[in-house]
Amino acid sequence: MVFSSSRRHWISAVRLAISLFGLPLTASSPGARPAVLCSSHHLNRTSTHIKPICGGYYTSGIGTMSSPACPHVKSRCPQYPESTIKRFTVPEDKVDWDEKWPQYSPVSHTAPVVLNKPIWADPDIGSFSPNFNAVDGLVDRSSFEGQYKVENGKPLNPRGRTGLTGRGLLGRWGPNHAADPIVTRWKVDASGAKIHHSASKKPILQFVSIKRRDCGEWAIPGGMVDPGEQVSLTLQREFSEEALNSLSLKQSEKEDIHKRIQRLFGSAGFQVYKGYVDDPRNTDNAWMETVAVNFHDEAGNSVSELPLQAGDDAGQVQWVDVDSSFSLYASHSHFLELVARERKAHW
Ligand code: BGC
């Protein structure tokens, strides 16, 4: 599910996981972060020149490293999504919480859908005081950004002011964890030879992209990590639901998909990014974080052969050329740039 898969009761995710993948869902042990998928050979592989552009952590030849500040731009978009709410304007030099700004008067907004107390959302602070900066029962409230501050019982966005307090459209106070499967293949001609870009002379990668129903933007078919769910499972589940419409497949079709996805997702993933996402839904007290993992079908004979079919919250799905001119949701372009560099592909 794209927008908030936690809108589904997590038990249904258990059922789905078992029926589609035959995978057990492992609840994270207390105090531990749910495991992040990355086959060890891939985490240890030598990757040469991935350079950080946005925040978070990225894979490089010398391990996982922290990267410099993320542009905090979509998180300050004037118009809050799916509402008529306008954020208090936060200029670049006032983003940092350490910058004294007594005039700061953010707008408070929590979407009605969140206030309706769906299963995927926290209650309001006051009646509720969760364990922030920790795995709290099955909900991971720790941040990839390190310890975040909690002020008057509410967590503070580690990247600074957004012009809006409350949770907006996000269910969790503090970090809301997502996972993004970036499934790629080479663009080939009728004879199977790689097609090179006329300007960069580099081979062109294609990735599976969905058009989100909520905002109409093209995106990676990611979604929210359900409580207690391993990220490795979220990646497979979201890809299957969004890009293969697995929720409405017959059992026999599910089995074939399951085999192919397990083969690709089980052995070829490398973690592209892990950290804060500059997402338009972010607020001063609730924000998105993600783990983006690339699964590359080098020979074009695994997932590439499956018919794509938009499902769940995806309006459309297709293979799209990886190219810097293609505009994508939230920080997704940044993730693709990292993939293109890693695979020495056109960008
Ligand atoms: C989306 C992910 C995205 C994340 C942060 C989630 O709702 O499904 O694709 O990376 O939000 O923007």
What ranges do the domains of the chain cover? 5-72+177-342
Ligand 1 centroid – CA 1 distance (Å): 10
Q: Which of 71-75, 124-128, 174-178, 310-314 has the lowest mean pLDDT?
A: 310-314
- Which residues approach ligand 1 with their CB closer than 6 A? 2-3, 178, 180, 219-220, 222-224, 277, 279, 288, 290, 330
Mean pLDDT of 66-73: 59
Q: Please list, in sequence order, all residues whose beta carbon lies within 8 angstroms of the beta carbon of residue 337, skipping any fewer than 6 positions away.
A: 53, 324, 347
* Residue nearest (by alpha carbon) to ligand 1 atom 2: 222
Measured at the CA of 226, the angle between CA 224 and CA 231, to 5 degrees, comes to 75
Ligand 1 centroid – CA 290 distance (Å): 7
CA distances from 92 to 23, 61, 99, 162 (A): 45, 33, 11, 10
* Residue nearest (by alpha carbon) to ligand 1 atom 4: 178
- So what's the pLDDT on residue 61? 37
Cα 320 to Cα 69: distance, rounded to the nearest angstrom: 29
The amino acid sitting at 8 is: R
144, 329, 336, 339: residue to mutate for ligand 1 pocket, most atoms within 8 A of CB: 329
Extended strands (E) in the chain: 57-60, 63-66, 107-110, 135-136, 139-140, 150-151, 154-155, 164-168, 174-186, 205-212, 218-219, 223-224, 269-276, 286-296, 314-321
Ligand 1 centroid – CA 279 distance (Å): 8
pTM equals: 0.80
Ligand 1 centroid – CA 2 distance (Å): 7
260-276: pLDDT as tens digits:
888 888 876 889 999 99
- So what's the pLDDT on residue 70? 61
181-219: pLDDT as tens digits:
999 999 999 999 999 999 999 999 999 999 998 889 999
- So what's the pLDDT on residue 215? 85
Question: Which is the closest atom of ligand 1 to the Cα of 221?
Answer: 9
Q: Which of 32-46, 70-84, 93-107, 329-343 has the lowest mean pLDDT?
A: 32-46
| Tokens of residue 253, six digits | 């079709």
Q: Are strands 269-276 and 205-212 parallel, antiparallel or unpaired?
A: unpaired
Question: Which is the closest atom of ligand 1 to the Cα of 290?
Answer: 10
**pLDDT grade, residue 65 (50/70/90)?**
very low
**HSE toward the beta carbon, residue 73, CA cutoff 13 A:** 7
* Residue nearest (by alpha carbon) to ligand 1 atom 6: 223
The domain over range 5-72+177-342 is classified in CATH as 3.90.79.10: yes
Ligand 1 centroid – CA 5 distance (Å): 10
Question: Locate tokens 């990292």: which residue?
Answer: 338
* Residue nearest (by alpha carbon) to ligand 1 atom 9: 222
Instruction: Check the CA dihedral 293-212-217-108 and report its sign.
Output: negative
Percent of the chain having pLDDT more than 90?
61
